[in-house]
Amino acid sequence: MGKLESTIKSEIQRLAKREIRTTFIPLRREVRAMRFKLSGLFKNFSALNRLTKDQLQKMPKKGLEATPEEVKASRLTPSRIRGLRKKLGISMRELGVLTGSSLSAVLSWEKGKFKPRGEKKAALVALRKLKKREVRKMLTEKVDKKPERTRKSRAKKTRRMNLSKKRR
């Protein structure tokens, strides 16, 4: 009885393995083909991603722009200007660099002595739309573009400093 039992059991196992092989071999082929297609798609995606990155870098970068309607509708109070500056995490001098105005102008805006007009107001309205990281990037670009002072301007500054020391 033991031999018959083991023979039947081994025959069932053999047939089951054969059935499994006939089912899984085509599936393995399909999986292999899908993996191949997926790798091709991934390569195409990587190439397209690289191209779009290059195109975005080549695009001319816009400065601070706002539509005339936005500028007209905006209400820039001293506290809002200060709040914008604090939100962006920049100093008065950096705000002046971004808007193309002086430190004293920014100070007078925040104190309420004067209101920003024209291009300066448009720049402030456009700054509202930007995030900290974008503002930092703009600042570094503007600082990099800033020309160095010439010898004459340095010499004038040195003379002024020497004269002020003598007067004391």
Q: What's the chain look like in SS3? A: CHHHHHHHHHHHHHHHHHHHHHHHHHHHHHHHHHHHHHHHHHHHHHHHHHHHHHHHHHCCCCCCCCCHHHHHHCCCCHHHHHHHHHHHCCCHHHHHHHHCCCHHHHHHHHHCCCCCCHHHHHHHHHHHHCCHHHHHHHHHHHHHHCCCCCHHHHHHHHHHHHHHHHHC
Q: How confident is the model at residue 43 (pLDDT cuts 50, 70, 90)?
A: very high
3/34: higher pLDDT: 34
Amino acid at 103: L
Q: Please report, for the chain, the start and end positions of each structural domain, with discontinuous segments joined by +.
A: 1-51, 68-146
Task: List C-alpha distances in Å: 16 to 77, 80, 102.
Answer: 82, 78, 85
Q: Please name the fold of domain 68-146.
A: 434 Repressor (Amino-terminal Domain) (1.10.260)
Q: Is pLDDT of 155 > 90?
A: no
pLDDT digits (tens, 9 = 90+) for 108-150: 999 999 999 888 999 999 998 888 998 998 888 887 766 555 5
